[in-house]
Amino acid sequence: MNGAPGALTRRDLLALAASAAAAGALLPAARAEVPAGERHGLSIFGDLKYAADFRAFDWVNPEAPKGGRLVTLPSHTGTNQNSQTFSSLHDLILKGDAAVGLDLTRVSLMVRAFDEPDAVYGLLARSVEIRDGGDTLVFRLRPEARFHDGSPITAEDVAFSLTTLKTKGHPQLAEPLREMVAAEAAAPDVAVVRLSGKQGRSLASLVAQMPIVSRAWWATRDFEASSLEPPLGSGPYRIGRFEAGHFIDYERVRDWWGADLPVARGQWNFDVIRYEFYREQTAGFEAFKSGAINLREEFSSLGWATRYDFPAVADGRVKRLQLEDHSPSGAQGWFLNTRRATFRDPRVREALGLAFDFEWSNAKLFYGLYTRTPSFFVNSDLEATGEPSPAEIALLEPFRDHLPAEVFGPAWRPPVSDGSGQDRRLLKRASDLLAAAGWVRRGDRLVDAAGRPFELEFLESDTVFARISGPYVRNLQALGIQARERVVDPSQYEKRIQDFDFDVATRRYSLSPTPDEGIRQFWHSKSATQPGSYNLAGIADATVDALIEAILAAESREGLTAAARALDRVLRAGRWWVPHWYKASHAIAAWDVFGRPATKPRYDRAIESTWWIDRAKS
């Protein structure tokens, strides 16, 4: 696997979490023609690609035909969404298991351009003005913007949405908004957002990309309650037929008010986008083989190498594609929950990492398709390599007394085994580290000073991972660790992940090309105790916190890169996880009925948004 349905992608609002708005950091492109003081787009360091009069993004076909159906499986989740089932149509809160795809039914003030690292351009907002040195944002709304019932989207809706998300929304939405002081309606088409003055550089971008909902519709409903009532939307799709836990249809709004805007032209071409939900991956694959599903992303190397030998592949009716991905590939791995006393000693965590034989797994299980993940920022310029630069040293030096010496040397990389599946040299090192941490061998068991056995459980929601974790479990057992795997149903799995009720859990998270305030949800001390955060390991470290703030305060991309690399070195030294593997591409299998643009955006799959049904092929 190079990913898992827990990966975060462009529609995951986590990727929109940003840091702070400073006037000098959010400059319009020099060639943009907008009224004085107003901007058609924002970027963290002022480098917008598209002028105010652009017609469409370069990665779309502006003349793409509309029609047909995309029937697929969830390949990403965010907030409380579940890739295997759903019991709610409300994905903006912590409670419940929400359906994937609900973001298709909503709009935001501005949207990402996925051929730029972080630029956003106006959707609901025709422009934004930044005042008071970056502490006040003034969004002017498009008069044609409408909810699906025909009612106008007003500044009152914007103010309600932002305020409600901050006070009642999912932690992944609420936490990044903490430096937003107020959101108000200055006029029906003018929304004013006031920031605290303590924010980082890109909170404007975060605010601009938050989902906007109807104030009137929610006035008679409990925002914090899970529900299967379809909420009133405003986006290119509305909820159609669905069967909780099994499938959901999103139907194209044929008279959608935003269809001809530059940020939407050539996009949202399918009449219906259907997501099918399966609790077991084999059943989903069989549905694809039969043609009931017409596109899927393959996350299993075994599947990619061995399962596509059925007649439709042989005769060309099914195509296999590798879509190059330049986004940071993410931090997939086994996360060690340091809220448990067993994992608090870094020597124990390092020993656990030594017991995983990636080289054997890659050769025997993955068909040599993957590369070991060394970094939390792998596949990006933010990955630390070699010796730290002078800029990195300057950031790390104040914390030298609190850091392992290795942070100031070559960047740590996972151990390389002999590929035997049970490298005795690495297992001996692991055994020595465990002994140094106070664990002693009694018979075939490791015990602590009080005689308590070393036990750990791998929490999973699917049996598919057993072939990978099984050999790892056997190596741990050889060390005297009572390791076992436990598969629970998807709803229980998500609940236990949210509540940090696990020993070891598998997850993959991808990050924005420009790290933003959302990184606090991964590694900051405050997120270690916040249910629903992505800080699965429970990292609570003052040096990590300080380096996160250095990233968020960076005034140039060079400064941001140095701070991210310094943070990467410190995180790697903590041994918070047993890193997995990655492949910088998306493995897509699709029935040969699709057309797609000649250019793929650098930072997104863009399948749901830019592909279309080719009538001649279908």
Structural domains of the chain, ranges and CATH numbers in brackets: 13-275+586-613 (3.40.190.10), 333-582 (3.10.105.10)
Residue 467: its H or E element: helix 466-478
SS (H, E, C) 443-459: CCEEECCCCCECEEEEE
User: Which of 110, 117, 177, 94 is closest to 145 using CA atoms?
Assistant: 110
pLDDT at 6 over 70: no
pLDDT tens for each residue of 489-501:
988 999 999 999 9
Kindly give, in sequence order, each residue whose CB lies less than 8 Å from that of residue 362, ignoring residues fewer than 6 positions away. 368, 369, 370, 372, 581
pLDDT tens for each residue of 238-249:
999 999 999 999
Q: Is the pTM of the predicted complex or chain greater than 0.85?
A: no
What phi and psi, each to the nearest 5 degrees, are found at residue 414?
Answer: -60, 150
Count of other CB atoms within 10 angstroms of residue 276: 18
- pLDDT for residue 32: 32
Chain centre to alpha carbon of residue 257: 29
What phi and psi, each to the nearest 5 degrees, are found at residue 334?
Answer: -90, 110
**Integer-rounded Cα radius of gyration of the chain:** 24
Tokens of 302: 């075994």
- pLDDT for residue 301: 83
- Please give the C-alpha separations between residue 185 and each of 205, 214, 436, in angstroms, as whole numbers: 19, 14, 62
pLDDT at 33 over 60: no
pLDDT tens for each residue of 203-234:
899 999 999 999 999 999 999 999 999 999 99
Rounded to whole angstroms, how far apart are CA atoms 328 and 3? 12
Contact 128, 39 (CB under 8 A): yes
**Alpha-helical regions (H) of 140-202:** 155-168, 171-174
Tokens of 258: 């935003």
What phi and psi, each to the nearest 5 degrees, are found at residue 394?
Answer: -60, -35
pLDDT at 555 over 90: no
For 543, which DSSP code?
Answer: H
Q: In what order do the strands lie in the sheet with 190-195?
A: 125-131, 136-141, 190-195, 180-187
For β-strands 504-507 and 577-579, DSSP reports them as: unpaired
